Amino acid sequence: MSSPYLVEEFLEMMSAERGASENTIDAYARDLAQFWEFSPKTDISAITKEDISAFIIFLSKQKNAATKSINRKLSTLREYFKFLYTEKEIKTIPTQNIQGAKPERPLPKYLSINEINLLVEKASNNPQKKWQRISVMLKLMYACGLRVSELVSLPENSINFEKKIILVKGKGNKERIIPIADAALKAVMQYIDIREVFIPSGRKSQWLFPSYASSGHFTRHAFYQDIKELAVLCGISPSKITPHTLRHSFATHLLNKNVDLRSVQKMLGHASIATTEIYTHVANERLVEIIKSKHPLHNQ
């Protein structure tokens, strides 16, 4: 016997005409069953946009469904009501202009100050020039919050040692000026003395961190591999460290020291402050952990 809502017919259409897999058909069936269990209306033509929105809110707040799951169910309803419309069962499509749930942005991972110091010291104490350069790059990236692409492509003349600033060309070729901490500046000055080691004899390079294998600069991939190897040498899980982790650490540590958000935005080169605001969530999480672990009333 056919469903009064043409669910069986819809599922048959999705299978025969759209080639949906058995697993997909099962998911459609579950989604529709959940919607009709939620909806008190028995007349299909009485379903409104408000009913669909209420269902999404129900999934989000009462069922605590994941964003991906909510959007899949909404997609099912869109296909279903479009089918009903083509079958002339309804005169309007209630799912039109319904916005899906926005994917949650994962909080950025960052390193502790002790972990960063360990990485820098391990690299700088290694007699190999390769690791001494990595130490400088780590300091500069963490001190200025650089993207890895910005770091490796720094021109040799990008730093004004007298004014203690660096000129960085970021996304969209937008330039920004960032102050450099004294420790990072000193490390770069010392590196300048060994920079020629990384340039083949008879060749010149415009890059602060030149590539020995080509006329270009040190690559992002090479830097990525080196810091992963360095993490292992330091006893830190390599999965915890990426070049962007250092940039995240820069922003998080500054906000934890009460640096204002606008200043951090400017140094990171974010076009919108909304992008920078994600780091405030990290800082807030840290405050929650402090309260949990330190406040005398918490465990009473």
Q: What is the dihedral of CA 157, 159, 162, 163, to 10 degrees?
A: 130
CB 184 within 8 A of CB 116: no
Among residues 73, 122, 195, 247, which one is catalytic? 247
130 is catalytic: no
- All residues at 6 or more sequence positions from 62 whose CB lies less than 8 Å from its CB, including other chains: none
Among residues 80, 110, 142, 279, which one is catalytic? 279
295 is catalytic: no
Which regions of 95-248 does DSSP assign to beta strands (E)? 159-160, 165-169, 175-179
CA 193-196-201 angle, 5° bins: 150
Q: Which residue is associated with the tokens 């660096």? A: 166
- All residues at 6 or more sequence positions from 173 whose CB lies less than 8 Å from its CB, including other chains: none
Among residues 122, 195, 253, 270, which one is catalytic? 270
Among residues 171, 240, 281, 295, which one is catalytic? 171
244 is catalytic: yes
User: Rounded to 5 degrees, what are φ and ψ at 229?
Assistant: -65, -40
Among residues 73, 139, 147, 253, which one is catalytic? 147
Overall residue count recorded for the chain in this entry: 300
**What sign does the dihedral 287-243-180-266 (CA atoms) show?**
negative
Q: Rounded to an integer, what distance in angstroms lies between the CA atom of residue 65 and that of residue 101?
A: 10
Helices (H) and strands (E) in the chain, counts: 13, 3
110 is catalytic: no
Q: Rounded to an integer, what distance in angstroms lies between the CA atom of residue 248 and that of residue 271?
A: 16
Q: Rounded to an integer, what distance in angstroms lies between the CA atom of residue 123 and that of residue 143?
A: 16
247 is catalytic: yes
Output DSSP code: residue 128. Answer: S
Among residues 109, 244, 266, 286, which one is catalytic? 244
171 is catalytic: yes
Active site residues: 147, 171, 244, 247, 270, 279
